[in-house]
Structure 1
């Protein structure tokens, strides 16, 4: 019997061992049983610290140098949090001077207040997800509001701070976050060390993730790939539990004004990428307690559409070759080494009959056409070229195959694993200094932060093709492993939203990671057929990652997406305050990238909402 499955019972029976557990009665109707939030932690952030930037301010967030740990192997909880917030901002927002943040949209004023954090668990899950609530000192219990967000990608608990934290705290709202069952709680299988609730490494205690794996398994495990829980299937419930935790945190913060409920508190859901997908999944839940939702570039699986896993495995396989057929690629440039690697991939694909053509040029055209047929046109290919250069497609495919198939560490059906590397790039045991950085800097899907992907079937020659073909077959063939993976995909298919919840969906037309044609276009059409209140902003000249706009060639091509997220939240908020302000309307946005000049608000062409005549 796995005692982790009965942690909620242990929490009630042995509260002292959990640091004071609390059985939390749902503040709004839940899709499952009452949720246990444990262990409760409360910290204050004032003076030289704050909720929004951990006291760093815009200049320190712009710095490529991470906030230091006094002892690189043993950071304090405060140091780990500060670096996690620094990393979360830099992974999501374009903070470069002239990029518009702080001048045209957003701001980064210090926000003093308190944080409450705990673990939560959806019914049936083996492992918990993190929840965290930021309560600003300026919160007005008489005008109570709560913004709820899920981290983008597979990021850690602060992964939505640049979106939800920036907007919500500025409006005096409490902000609740969830890592939605993923996050940067890496576990060293050799040292038997993980991450505590406060973000510091440890061998025991209240660890956020302890994988179930044979004692002979080596390397690094992380929650998204190795929990055995298929977290994507529960994204909506993760978000709703974050809302419930937020309301209970407000009960603790303001006991004289309790109880805080969804009926007496304005609740907005917001997220981008995977976080946007979580927002849309939560919108399916009847009487969820949310008043409105804003989803940016959502990774959302729509029934009847090809699964994104199929596109990801195809891109991992074909894109290095296909990019040779494109001109005018943004950096990283197709330098000699990349072109050489791409030519080798074309030749290997031709030998395996994955592409057609007698020479590299013809083979590249064949690969390019296959990706176009799958939903990655030339503009999306250009925007997604960096993902190929960083081996992101393969890493994403490995992680999601493991999650969909509910495979634990050491059991990947295609033989993949993850290991630590030293400064020289050679695999080996993780150092204490490396483990100390994982929670703060890890993206939730290695490679990165000193953890790399290991291809167990590449052979002595290091040929990636067999592994890539194996990953692709998991989404298409009929073996036992493939059936497990496809069953996991089916669990993650979205339903339709409730008609009572207004929704705004925002997506960049040039998105090269989560193509608009496979996700938002299809989701919005289906939601409308079901009678949903939904507005759709399609933004030309926008791709998936605002942070890439720090590169000159990217900011000459693209505009940031965050301004549209903030504008949509402003318009929804205005409508909830006064229905005379209409909800956002559909728009095909035609902005102008800033190139080498400072961004001006007029270049963004942000849509406006209707206002009732006479106002």
Structure 2
């Protein structure tokens, strides 16, 4: 699939503006706002064996389960930390398995030489900065200037959107601006008092990306999403806007002879998946013509007046291990035998607590399943949710988001959870220097993982009540305690509003998404946007769940298709329209693709909607 469209129409349109005014001399931009001050500016070249898109690794090395090495495991260089971060970001988002289609059917992995500009940005009133980074390919043409702007998916680090925005934007000759949206992999060792510098290298002093203010008794590991004392989700749209503003300033520096770069003279496309997709939709609310179009995949977006996703996450953390026993033919992993044993135990605990009905495990499982169905979860989403359940992701998310919403610091978790490095036997303990040095490159932004474990303080405090911690997390979203009111106030701050009129938006969501269920997010957001007069297209994709990367498991690729091909197709179609407004924007579609099983993926199996009028 050749996704590289000719930019000639855009070049012609921008080379000479009305009245013979050149781009550099263009009048005031369409959008004005006080430009943020960016701190710790860095500019680094990336060419040859260390280019922008894969850090010189190429497809084979990205596929490898062995991370790029650090010459000194305890003190990597900035280049080594970056290379491993890019390796980790690709593997966490994309299906790169042979036959999976990336680089052949959709997406590109070619080497892209160029430069990177990075800095810290800060939302007014925030305690801590977020990272912003811009990749400028050597193929960038100031006469047909374009900027793709993306926020990391999940809570990933600054390269967390490279497999989507980087692969599409850089190979189109566009600059690509990223933000970690106030989350990211800037972990902090509370015992060693060590974090990470702007270049991703570990340090115990200097301008660290995240150094929490904590009680002296706090121990273990802090990370920005949970422990900054900010509520990053409330500001996701502003994070994306600041990434755009940083992108324009970086282009001013990269091409001073062609400055200024403004929204009026530069095509701007907002792109993101999951939490990054939520950030795109939040940025769509902002007044001013900052963005020309938006493409949001499987967006984590809650609508005011409807139950927030936090409510579902805490319900799933409690009920789903039991509810899954009411479904047959679950995907593996997790192994069904292990899941069944854990699920039976959970059913019994829920029955004792009066949270499910029934005198046997099968009846209790049906009771749990019915509660999730009443909340809006389909059987397809429940089946796909087995992955998140088996890897304890529901609890990890709830434990992270609760203190973020309530703006609690490290050591202040209202439900007595904390995080710690893991010793060799997996038990909590001090972090070895080599482990600590890997966090910035490999951390997902939400432990457990990368040698960090979740510690449940309730286990020691109330061993007779194994569900105390989960029930505490759920009560924060539903109760009336001071902590609950504090958390719910933060949840309300993160609710989405309608986008501005006239902004083209494409929303893409898998019907079987088990982590960010379509019925609780996009199905609610799109009607809200349309009621406000939004110019929005909605692609609902059958046989698609949340994690493209799990298609590396044979049982998942027999059931599901990747979602990223639809992101690339939507970006192609939107871009065609921006270059030539006579080309129609994407239209609504219910897409019915066929999973590839063990055969190589073919484009025909994806049933990608054709551009209108073609």
The TM-score, its normalising length taken from structure 2, stands at 0.94
Q: 1:127 matched to which residue of 2?
A: 128
Q: 2:59 matched to which residue of 1?
A: 58
Question: Does structure 2 retain, via aligned residues, the 8 Å contact 1:240–1:288?
Answer: no
Equivalent-residue separation in structure 1 for 2:353 and 2:371 (angstroms): 15
- Spell out the pairing of 1:146-295 with structure 2 (5 A cutoff): 146-295=147-296
Q: 1:570 matched to which residue of 2?
A: 572
Equivalent-residue separation in structure 2 for 1:29 and 1:291 (angstroms): 11
Question: Does structure 1 retain, via aligned residues, the 8 Å contact 2:35–2:245?
Answer: no
> How far off is 1:272 after superposition?
0.2
> How far off is 1:29 after superposition?
4.3
Q: 1:348 matched to which residue of 2?
A: 349
Please give the per-residue CA displacement for 1:550-579, whole angstroms capped at 9, x wherever unaligned.
111100000001000000000000001111
Equivalent-residue separation in structure 2 for 1:28 and 1:162 (angstroms): 30
Equivalent-residue separation in structure 2 for 1:219 and 1:505 (angstroms): 39
Question: Does structure 2 retain, via aligned residues, the 8 Å contact 1:475–1:486?
Answer: yes
CA spacing shift, 1:34–1:247, aligned 2, 3 Å: closer
2:587 is the alignment partner of 1:579: no
Equivalent-residue separation in structure 1 for 2:176 and 2:157 (angstroms): 15
> How far off is 1:27 after superposition?
7.3
Q: 1:534 matched to which residue of 2?
A: 536
Equivalent-residue separation in structure 1 for 2:508 and 2:481 (angstroms): 38
2:333 is the alignment partner of 1:326: no
Question: Does structure 2 retain, via aligned residues, the 8 Å contact 1:455–1:464?
Answer: no
Equivalent-residue separation in structure 1 for 2:340 and 2:358 (angstroms): 17
Q: 2:17 matched to which residue of 1?
A: none
The 3-state SS of whatever aligns with 2:508 is strand
Equivalent-residue separation in structure 2 for 1:29 and 1:436 (angstroms): 41
Q: 1:99 matched to which residue of 2?
A: 100
> How far off is 1:34 after superposition?
3.3
Structure 2: stretches of 5+ with no match in the other structure? 1-27
The 3-state SS of whatever aligns with 2:459 is coil
CA spacing shift, 1:362–1:503, aligned 2, 3 Å: same
CA spacing shift, 1:464–1:180, aligned 2, 3 Å: farther
Please give the per-residue CA displacement for 1:281-325, whole angstroms capped at 9, x wherever unaligned.
000001141000000000001112111001000000011111111
2:481 is the alignment partner of 1:479: yes
Q: 1:3 matched to which residue of 2?
A: none
The 3-state SS of whatever aligns with 1:494 is coil
Question: Does structure 2 retain, via aligned residues, the 8 Å contact 1:539–1:589?
Answer: yes
Structure 1: stretches of 5+ with no match in the other structure? 1-25
Question: Does structure 2 retain, via aligned residues, the 8 Å contact 1:27–1:244?
Answer: no
Q: 1:555 matched to which residue of 2?
A: 557
> How far off is 1:334 after superposition?
4.3
2:517 is the alignment partner of 1:515: yes
> How far off is 1:423 after superposition?
2.3
Equivalent-residue separation in structure 2 for 1:315 and 1:334 (angstroms): 19
Equivalent-residue separation in structure 2 for 1:607 and 1:34 (angstroms): 39
RMSD (CA atoms) = 1.3
Equivalent-residue separation in structure 2 for 1:378 and 1:34 (angstroms): 47
Question: Does structure 1 retain, via aligned residues, the 8 Å contact 2:29–2:265?
Answer: no
**Aligned residue-pair number:** 586
The 3-state SS of whatever aligns with 2:329 is coil
Please give the per-residue CA displacement for 1:397-437, whole angstroms capped at 9, x wherever unaligned.
01110100001000010001000002210210001011111
Question: Does structure 1 retain, via aligned residues, the 8 Å contact 2:183–2:445?
Answer: yes
The TM-score, its normalising length taken from structure 1, stands at 0.94
Equivalent-residue separation in structure 1 for 2:35 and 2:160 (angstroms): 26
Q: 2:10 matched to which residue of 1?
A: none
Question: Does structure 2 retain, via aligned residues, the 8 Å contact 1:28–1:244?
Answer: no
Question: Does structure 2 retain, via aligned residues, the 8 Å contact 1:419–1:427?
Answer: yes
CA spacing shift, 1:366–1:533, aligned 2, 3 Å: same
> How far off is 1:335 after superposition?
3.7
Question: Does structure 2 retain, via aligned residues, the 8 Å contact 1:282–1:288?
Answer: no
Question: Does structure 2 retain, via aligned residues, the 8 Å contact 1:129–1:178?
Answer: yes
Equivalent-residue separation in structure 2 for 1:549 and 1:430 (angstroms): 32
The 3-state SS of whatever aligns with 2:65 is coil
Question: Does structure 2 retain, via aligned residues, the 8 Å contact 1:27–1:247?
Answer: no
Q: 2:470 matched to which residue of 1?
A: 468
